[in-house]
Amino acid sequence: MNLTSKQRAYLKSLASNLKPVFQIGKGGLTPEVTNAVGECFNNNELIKLAVLKNCEEDAVSIAGALAERTNSTLVQVIGKKIVLYKPDKDKPKIELPKRSFS
């Protein structure tokens, strides 16, 4: 899903109050972590993750891999924090600003 800058800014503002639901540590991005993040999207459309200092992988590569594997959209990576978005197919809770076609 491609987000407009306005939609991305809106999601960033919502994510600013979120606490990380997962921490990725020394083991890096394991299949278990990927599955847990995927399952988290069953209850949440917007999630924040933290990459710990002892993780050898960088946050940007982890974020890209997670977004691809969970079919979610990368909203932002700031330092060691990752924000991902995946709307609910049936009943989206987050209403994004509309795209303007001008």
Q: Could you tell me the domains of the chain?
A: 5-85 (3.30.110.60)
Question: How far lies 11's CA from each of 52, 54, 60, 76, 79, in Å?
Answer: 23, 28, 18, 9, 17
- Grouping H, G, I as helix, E, B as strand and the rest as coil, residue 9 is helix
Please report the pLDDT score of residue 1 as a whole number.
76
At 36-76, the pLDDT tens digits run 999 999 999 999 999 999 999 999 999 999 999 999 999 99
In the predicted model, is pLDDT for residue 98 greater than 90? Answer: no
In the predicted model, is pLDDT for residue 99 greater than 80? Answer: no
- Token look-up 């709307």 returns 87
Residues 6+ apart with CB under 8 A from 34: 66, 69, 70
Three-class secondary structure assignment of 20-79: CCEEECCCCCCHHHHHHHHHHCCCCCEEEEEECCCCCCCHHHHHHHHHHHHCCEEEEEEC
pTM: 0.91
In the predicted model, is pLDDT for residue 95 greater than 90? Answer: no
